[in-house]
Amino acid sequence: MPLPKRRHSKTRRDKSRTHQRLISPLPGTCSHCGEVKLSHRVCPACGYYNNRPVVEIKEKKEKKKK
């Protein structure tokens, strides 16, 4: 198997690695309530997916301060 005759510089190595990065998922909006949510997932605020109720969301109880 052939080997490189000379070593690649750090700049050349780093240029090839510029496209190897993590991309955070882009959020979308819920078509039912307008809240921000991840695409292709049930809305955590209203429980709708694709304009249909999928999950029943329980109301959160507020904690009382002492």
Kindly indicate the confidence band of residue 60, based on its pLDDT and cuts at 50, 70 and 90.
Answer: confident
Report the length, in residues, of the chain: 66
Does the pTM surpass 0.85? The reply is no
Q: Write down the pLDDT at residue 3.
A: 87
Which tens digit of pLDDT belongs to each residue from 25-38?
889 999 999 999 99
Residue 57: CB atoms within 10 Å: 13
What residue spans define the domains of the chain? 26-57
Q: Which of the four pLDDT bands, split at 50, 70 and 90, describes residue 47?
A: very high
Residue 12 near residue 18, CB atoms below 8 Å: no
As a whole-number percent, the residues of the chain with pLDDT over 70 amount to: 98
